[in-house]
Structures are given as C-alpha cells and as structure tokens.
A and B are shown apart, each in its own frame.
Chain A
Amino acid sequence: EAAVTQSPRNKVAVTGGKVTLSCNQTNNHNNMYWYRQDTGHGLRLIHYSYGAGSTEKGDIPDGYKASRPSQENFSLILELATPSQTSVYFCASGDWGSSAETLYFGSGTRLTVL
C-alpha cells in the first residue's frame, strides 16, 4: 500500500504569517498533488507536480506556492496566510499511465488562520 505522510496534522497560524505544509511519499510516484477540502466545494486542486523540480498550477493556485525538491517531497507554501485559507489540505501521489493508476492520499492537515 502506498504511503503518503503529511505534516503537521494540525496548524494554527496568524494572518500574514508564512505557513509550510509538508508531504512525503515513499512509493517513487512521479506525480504529487495538493488539494484543499471545504464544505460545499469538495476537493479542489491547488498545485501539482510531475516530478522533482516541476510544479504546475491547479485550479485554485492564487495565494499558494509549491516546491518539489525531490521525488519524495512536495511542499505547499502560504507566504502570507489569510483566514480564507483555513481549510483541510490533502496531499496525494500517483503514477499515470499504468492500469493500476490511482491516487493515494495523506491523512490531511487541518489549517486554521486566525
């Protein structure tokens, strides 16, 4: 079973502060994703990556940056956190192109911006 680990599990930040959410996967998947989940909106894609050194904008990238320094690690960075970024954030990894392609999710990070 694929392993995707997110840290921290919970985070409280102040408006204007910098927040970094981390994600690590141990299955050598090429693709990694950051989603946020909000009531009424489901899961929305923020940023994704096809491999080390690559980041791509998802559907709601404004206010977020991403970094993929290695195959295993994918970070989501909020340079200037705002209360509207209070949400649950999920990281996922997967490999397109195989018949068994699917996404594997981390356990989520609950972020509160005060």
Chain B
Amino acid sequence: GDQVKQSPSALSLQEGTNSALRCNFSIATTTVQWFLQNPRGSLMNLFYLVPGTKENGRLKSTFNSKESYSTLHIRDAQLEDSGTYFCAADAGNTRKLIFGLGTTLQVQP
C-alpha cells in the first residue's frame, strides 16, 4: 500500500454529482490499471493506461508518469457506481501489478 497510495480512502456522493479519485506512486511505473470491485465482490477492469488520458462513458482517467500520479474522474455519479475502486501500478514492466488500498465510494440517491 505504501508504493501506491490512493485518496480518499472513502467517499460519499449524491447521485448526479462529480468526483475525482487519485493514486500517487512512489515507484517508477510504466502503466496503470483501474478496477472496480462491486458490492458483491467481483473485480472488473475499468482502464489500462500508458501516460495520457482515456475516457469511457462517464469515466475518465489520466496517468501522468512524470509526476507519478493517476486520477479517475466520475461524472454524473449513479447508484451502480458504488463499490471500491483500486488502482494498480506495473512496477518497472515486471508484469506484476502493485495495488493501492482502494477508495470505497457510496453513491446516495
């Protein structure tokens, strides 16, 4: 968890609002991945990133390798966005991912 730090650790949003989750890396990383673990425990991939930005529907993610951070923006939050979001860093192209401790998001009606 120290090498990949996620913030905030928990977040509550009203439906329809926007927010940003952040990952800071203390290790050199070439790629970043974001995952969502839903309340039933299933892990789903959201993004695979090289330095740059990707967008998918209401989600947008950026990876800035020079400043060692990544962000995940959620626009117009919906109830089904609730769960725990994990970012993971590929440490030096080792084909191993190091995970952060996650951000638990609760979207309220």
Contacts and interface: CB of A to CB of B under 8 A. Distances in A.
Interface of A: 31, 33, 35, 40-45, 48, 50, 58-59, 88, 90, 92, 96, 99-105, 107-108
Nearest to B48: A102
A59 B4 CA distance: 14
A44 B1 CA distance: 9
Choose among B50, B86, B95, B98 the residue with the greatest number of A CB atoms under 10 Å from its CB: B95
Contact of B48 (A35, A40, A88, A101): A101
Interface residues of B, number: 23
B33 A108 contact: no
A6 to B, nearest CB: 11
Interface in B61-100: 86, 88, 93, 95-100
B101 A41 contact: yes
A83 B98 CA distance: 25
B95 A43 contact: no
Given A41-B101, A42-B100, A101-B31, A31 B95 contact: yes
A105 B31 contact: no
B108 interface: no
Contacts of B96: 33, 45, 48, 58-59
Contacts of A99: 48, 50
Contact of B99 (A40, A43, A50, A107): A43
B33 A102 contact: yes
B45 interface: yes
A103 B41 contact: no
B42 interface: yes
Contacts of B93: 96
